[in-house]
Chain A
Amino acid sequence: MSLIGSVTKAIYPAQSEPVLDRDVDWAIVQKVQAGNVGAFDQLVQKYREPIFSIIYNMTSNREDASDLAQETFIKAFQAIARFKGKSSFFTWIYRIAINSTMTFLKKRSRRRYISYENIDQEVSNSEIFERLTAKNQTEKGALISELQEKLNDALQKLSIKHRTVVILHEIEGLEHTEIAEITKTSVGTVRSRLHYAKQQLQSNLKEYVG
């Protein structure tokens, strides 16, 4: 296993958890539906980080991401009585988050990608940063800031649909089938969008890739 892989697993141990925890989620949802409103907090604690991460990477703005993530949970709370459990809770709430973000991005007149989150210390010491530092002959701190800016810029150049697929697959680690279910498209469409998006990113990040 590569170092990047191990670091990723260490940071996001719950990447595949939503799928496995489908029954657990459904049990919590049923508690909320039965009137135990406090049980909703368990769902918030469980999904706030991936929801925020998706929205943050789609908007590249911390404040907008925070607002939209809160809005997602409020919408889910308001509609939870109508949730029948036909799909998993995580698919349902991810769909709410993505639809809310897409609506927001369509309305937003100008781009605002100014705020960045802190890079985890473990990752900044990872192999990929060592190689990038060696390749670009830059100081690590400066390289991290530069790379964050370039990555956000490259993501924002993609269309909303292509950006969504890339974020869900490459950053959030979801399977093609899960993305297809969330975005209500076919698996073929997901793969096609992913392929095109990667080509675009390759072109926009060519100084770091290769």
Chain B
Amino acid sequence: MASESNDSHKSIKVEDLLRLKRSERPTDTFWNEFDRELHQRMLQTLVKKDPWYRQLMRTFSGPRVQTLGVSCAALFVAMLLMRPATFERTSSQAEVAAVSASIASASAVVVNQLALSDLSASSRSDYQIEMISSEVASVELGFTRDFSLEGIQVASEDSDYSMNFGLNGATFGSTGVVSLAF
């Protein structure tokens, strides 16, 4: 009796109240329905194909892809670290290239000038050779020049006059027709 009285006056703690929540339990009917729905949903997930973004995420979350990503990152960092040395080398190479290019261009100008002078000389001589060769050819073919420039006659309809130009002479007619007399 004394202990019962003592128990009834024992203080109730928060923990005691919270433990009452443990006794909130669904019925067997609820669990039957739960199991049925769960099996249905699990079968649906087995059949249903994941959306493309989830498949993509799964692809990129694979260990091989992650390793590849880490390797790429390491390579990128290594390239960043090595970049100044490469840049210096590149700039010195560029300077050398610029100097060699200027030298090459200067030499090219000289070479061009030389080539042009050579070309003019050779063309002149070629021409002379050609003239000579044509005369020679005409002689060889039995073709002789039996004419020479003696005068030019200019005919006019209004007035009948003729003009002689020096040694060769030219005649102007009134018709304005110029005839050359050889």
CA distance A135 to B8 in the complex (A): 9
Specify which chain A residues have a CB less than 8 angstroms from the CB of B31 in the assembled complex. 48
Specify which chain A residues have a CB less than 8 angstroms from the CB of B19 in the assembled complex. 4, 8, 170-171
CA distance A201 to B12 in the complex (A): 13
Within the complex, what minimum Cβ distance (angstroms) separates B37 from chain A? 6
CA distance A166 to B21 in the complex (A): 12
* A147 and B12 contact, Cβ closer than 8 Å, known pairs A70-B41, A127-B7: no
Q: Which of B1-25 contact A (CB under 8 A)?
A: 7-8, 10-25
Q: Decide if B60 is an interface residue (CB 8 Å cutoff).
A: no
Specify which chain B residues have a CB less than 8 angstroms from the CB of A147 in the assembled complex. 17, 20
Contact B17–A209 (Cβ < 8 Å): yes
Q: Which of A65-81 contact B (CB under 8 A)?
A: 66, 69-70, 73-74, 77-78
Within the complex, what minimum Cβ distance (angstroms) separates A86 from chain B? 15
Contact B38–A73 (Cβ < 8 Å): yes
Q: Decide if B27 is an interface residue (CB 8 Å cutoff).
A: yes
Contact B45–A77 (Cβ < 8 Å): yes
**Nearest B residue (CB) for A199:** B14
Q: Decide if B34 is an interface residue (CB 8 Å cutoff).
A: yes
Contact B15–A170 (Cβ < 8 Å): yes
Contact B37–A57 (Cβ < 8 Å): no
Contact B17–A134 (Cβ < 8 Å): no
Q: Decide if B118 is an interface residue (CB 8 Å cutoff).
A: no
Segment from A87-95, A105-113, A116-124 that makes contact with B: A116-124
CA distance A128 to B23 in the complex (A): 13
Specify which chain A residues have a CB less than 8 angstroms from the CB of B37 in the assembled complex. 66, 70
Q: Decide if A208 is an interface residue (CB 8 Å cutoff).
A: yes
CA distance A57 to B41 in the complex (A): 23
Within the complex, what minimum Cβ distance (angstroms) separates A166 from chain B? 7
Q: Can you list 10 pairs linking A and B with CB atoms under 8 Å apart? A: A44-B35, A62-B26, A66-B34, A77-B45, A120-B23, A128-B20, A151-B20, A171-B19, A198-B15, A210-B12
Q: B residues bordering A, Cβ < 8 Å?
A: 7-8, 10-27, 30-31, 34-35, 37-38, 41-42, 45
Q: A residues bordering B, Cβ < 8 Å?
A: 4, 7-8, 11-12, 44, 48-49, 52-53, 56-57, 62, 66, 69-70, 73-74, 77-78, 116-120, 122-124, 127-128, 130-132, 134-135, 147-148, 151, 166, 170-171, 173, 198, 201-202, 205, 208-210
CB-CB nearest 4 A-B residue pairs:
A123-B23, A117-B24, A120-B23, A170-B18
